[in-house]
Amino acid sequence: MTTETTPAEPAADAEPAAPRPAGAHVVALAVSAILVLLLDQVSKAVALLTLTPGVRIPALGDLLGWRLIFNPGAAFSFGTGVTWVFTLVMAIVSVAVLVAARRIGSRIWAIALGALLGGALGNLVDRLAREPGFAVGHVVDFIDYGVFIGNVADIAIVGAAIGMVALSLFGSSWEGRAAASSVSETTDDGVTGDDGASGGAATDDAESVAADERP
């Protein structure tokens, strides 16, 4: 007696997860940058209206306070005689982030880079628009940490830098390669497993037919 069996149909290939459109990451970067820039400029405006230059107002004792200064250089008053260098650096950072924006493949990286861009633009606005003149303007600092004085833009820049280092250490690529690789490996494993199961089922059916045909 011969028994006809139908080989199992191969499982359909698993569909890889659709990548998020590049435009969505650009929007995330832009929103992050605009929020940081607005928060920085608004906080500086409030500081200019409410604080007396050089006078410290304690917030958490010696750990944190408010003191308005106009900084021609960087942290710890470094580079006070070459203000234009910091203007150039901030401009280069801003342009570099904008050029890379359309290649970003990760939303968390887009947010981090947006914070970096917003912080750079916040201090760049001061360099370009404040006294004593274009490209040599002094940055408004008002958050007194005891050892140095900064602003919201500085917080965003440092936070973004730390975040990007952490993302890199955890294997996350700003172009989204790590995520894409993970999806590809998962898809390949799923397809291999399905094919293996289908092949095993077909082999068992063939052996069963051969046994039935024996006298």
Active-site residue numbers?
Answer: 141, 154
SS3 assignment, position 177? helix
Measured in degrees and rounded to the nearest 5, phi and psi for residue 134 equal -60, 130
Q: Which of 110, 124, 212, 122 is nearest to 163 (CA)?
A: 110
CA distance 161 to 53: 30
Going by the DSSP 8-state scheme, the letter that residue 52 receives in this structure is: -
Query: Which two tokens mark 132?
Result: 């004593």
CA distance 27 to 25: 5
Residues in the chain: 215
CA distance 134 to 128: 5
- One-letter amino acid for residue 121 of the chain: L
- Sign of the dihedral defined by the CA atoms of residues 190, 193, 196, 200, in that order: negative
CA distance 200 to 188: 18
Q: Which of 200, 197, 198, 207 is nearest to 3 (CA)?
A: 207
